[in-house]
Amino acid sequence: MTPTLTVVGATGVQGGSVIDSALKAGGYKVRAITRNAGSEKAKALAARGVEIVTADLNDIASIVKAFQVGCSLHHS
């Protein structure tokens, strides 16, 4: 089973860099957490094969749902 790497702040500069590195390295299913799945940055990530999940750090239930699978990296 391929491990899932979950990145919070995925559409930001640092989160985007983490995702770029993970995609380049391979070996992970990449999940991006963002507050706005309809943003241009989120759509660009989705086009690269990244799973987009809507969640907000102020909403615990949405964060728990986003982290339900595999190994994770939290970036804030």
Tokens encoding 44: 């660009």
The pLDDT, as a whole number, for residue 64 is 86
The structural architecture, per CATH, of the domain 4-66 is 3-Layer(aba) Sandwich (3.40)
Kindly list the domain boundaries of the chain, sorted by start residue. Answer: 4-66
CA distances to 5, 7, 29 from 51, rounded to whole Å, are 10, 10, 8
Beta bridge partners of 52: 32
Q: What is the pTM of this model?
A: 0.83
Low-confidence ranges of the chain (pLDDT < 50): 76
- Residue 57: CB atoms within 10 A of its CB come to 12
